[in-house]
Chain A
Amino acid sequence: MDDNRIKEILVVCDRSTEINRHMMEIIYKAKTIAMESGHLVSVLYTGNKNKDIVKGFSQCGADILISGTSPNKIGMWQFSDLVTRWIKKRKPQLVLFQSTEFGKDIAAIISARFEAGLTADCMDIFYDITNGFRFMRAAICDSVIAQIHCINCTMNIGTVKEGVFEICKLDRTWKMEMIPFSVEEDNTYERETCLHMSKEEQIKKEINMKEYSTVFCIGRGASSPECVEGIFALAKKYNACVVGTRPVIEEGIIEKERQVGQSGKSISPKLYIGFGVFGASQHLVGIRNAKKIIAINHDPKAPIFDYADYSMVADVKDILDKL
């Protein structure tokens, strides 16, 4: 019977050339699930390979590394076919992708191709013997967390955003199996070709929120120019990253790149201070892994206070003046 076959969780890494934190977060999460469920974790990786990278995969929990260096510009369709090939070979029960633009695209294509259930932007995944895999994700309409279960299919797919899970390094005593493959430049994948392309201008550089251990968040209650200015000055002093909630981004008070929450980025800083943040669940999703949360809001009923370690009912301006 098929049941005797070793079951696998396949983690598909993006087409980046190096191992990165995001991949490791997912692999480690896969490993923690696998330890309960008795699965093996296999990783499909198309980047460069050296000792350190291999060690990196091993340390965060990969049991099998399926790797092959891909041509630089491996396209979406070719990548999908590659994943398809390995899914057919390994028959994994769960396939996890990075919730990057690329990863989500591939996941969606694979989902349609295999008619497999897909849960995007999982916030948590767990396994139990009777029900199999369960996925948690925020369901915005109802401002709640939905638990999702795959039905009518043997394979489950999930995508995971960066920063949602933690990483721990494992002390490895067992060996990681290596399966190499090769990907060739294939011009038959003309499907994606762009005929013409011209770079126009450099826009501002990306803000890497993950590099900061302290994050200041501007909410609607702190969107006056004086407050914003004060928060930025304070951020400079303490080397903190300034982010914002959706209403603040929409009003153009700070750049779109700084948006945190369901429609923006998720962060897991050591310290998060919400200035005038009300705490819509869309935003809370993005900060739930912050170690410590300080919330300052003049409205004692603001939902963020339910999730904060320190709730300060005060006017943001009064606090800023003193800081």
Chain B
Amino acid sequence: MEKKIERIVLCIKPVKTDLLFQNSNADGEAFSMNPYELKALENLIKLKRNGEERFCLTCICMGDKKAKSILRRALSMGADEGILISDSIFAGSDTVATTYILQKAVEKLGNVKMIVCGVKTIDGETGQVPLGLCERLGFPFLVNGNEILKVKDTSVIYKYRNEKETKIMESKLPAVMKYRDFKMDLPIISLAAIKKGKKKEILLFDSKNMEIDPKRCGIKGSKTKVIEIKNKYNKKEKRKLEGNIQEMVEIIINLLGEGEEKKEGDFG
């Protein structure tokens, strides 16, 4: 029997479009792909197009029905499968609950050799999901990559870059990758690609078909709760200056001078 083609799962976080683009138009979707995942998606599609790599690129997206358009887009761009994880009881999930839900989704899919998540999302989540997911799934490898160079049967070759150096690394699979590069501009998808993407189906995973314990997801399963939201910056007593450039310049020079005199302080 032929071996089933293994999956690479890309977890896409829907983020509010107006966070990405200041002048988003009224016709645009309310949600867009997180820029890190967008870059990862392009990377993986390019690998597939080059032809050598054999894997099934599965995009999963958690959110309400609005997130569907993101998956549609991913399919138009060239992903193979789109999974929408959506259920009313998932609302309000924090990272602990989210990683549990994603774990169940990955287990339902099966045959997954790598999971790729953006290192962070533009709306402030700080990349806890890939770690928690890796811990829960018991995947042996957790890697940081800026670019995936090659996906082999049992390993992945990728590029890692930080402020100091660039490394080419190889990690065994299965692994979870935190993808560290991002792309802000929207790729243009041709009309033909939309038509092609349309032929692929988006599957819906909900609490029932994933066999989710309702106590472990949504607000019930979350460990953190936002209790108050406010605009909390202490407004200072301020001096407002208008018009007189010379006066402004003098103040700046004085303040800059003060900074000079005081030696670089220690912790005091």
Contacts and interface: CB of A to CB of B under 8 A. Distances in A.
A171 interface: no
Interface in A277-323: 281, 284, 288, 292-294, 296, 300, 305-314, 318-319, 322-323
Interface stretch (A2-10, A30-38, A66-74, A146-154): A146-154
A121 B260 CA distance: 31
B170 interface: yes
Interface stretch (A47-55, A172-180, A187-195, A224-232): A187-195
Contacts of B3: none
Given A168-B267, A271-B259, A319 B239 contact: no
Given A108-B135, A203-B163, 14 more contacts: A99-B126, A136-B232, A141-B16, A145-B233, A150-B223, A151-B222, A194-B169, A200-B167, A270-B259, A273-B252, A306-B233, A309-B238, A310-B239, A322-B249
Dominant secondary structure at the B interface: mixed
A321 to B, nearest CB: 9
A307 B235 contact: yes
A111 interface: yes
B249 A323 contact: yes
Interface string A79-116: 01000000000000000000101001101110111011
Interface string B205-232: 0000000000000001111111111111
B63 interface: no
15 contacts: A108-B95, A108-B131, A118-B128, A141-B124, A144-B230, A192-B141, A195-B170, A203-B163, A211-B264, A270-B262, A294-B252, A310-B251, A311-B239, A322-B245, A323-B253
Contacts of A288: 233
A16 interface: no
Contacts of A105: 131, 142
B88 interface: no
Contacts of B143: 194
A197 B233 CA distance: 46
A140 B123 contact: yes
Contacts of A137: 124
Interface of A: 21, 24, 76, 80, 99, 101, 104-105, 107-109, 111-113, 115-121, 134, 136-153, 159, 167-169, 190-206, 211, 213-214, 238-240, 250, 257, 262-263, 270-271, 273, 281, 284, 288, 292-294, 296, 300, 305-314, 318-319, 322-323
B110 interface: no
B131 A284 contact: no
B161 interface: yes
A201 B243 CA distance: 50
B119 to A, nearest CB: 9
Interface residues of B, number: 82
B164 interface: yes
A241 to B, nearest CB: 12
Given A147-B226, A300-B242, A305-B238, A199 B165 contact: yes
Contacts of A111: 95-96, 128, 132, 223
A145 B231 contact: yes
Contact of A121 (B99, B126, B134, B265): B126
Contact of B167 (A118, A152, A198, A211): A198
Nearest to A101: B144
B258 to A, nearest CB: 8
Nearest to B97: A115
Contacts of A201: 165-166
Contacts of A191: 140-142
A139 B229 contact: yes
B163 A196 contact: no
B136 interface: yes
B249 A194 contact: no
Contacts of A319: 245, 248-249, 252
B231 A144 contact: yes
| Among B128, B241, B265, residue most surrounded by chain A Cβ atoms (within 10 Å) | B128
A296 to B, nearest CB: 7
Contacts of A318: 245
A317 to B, nearest CB: 10
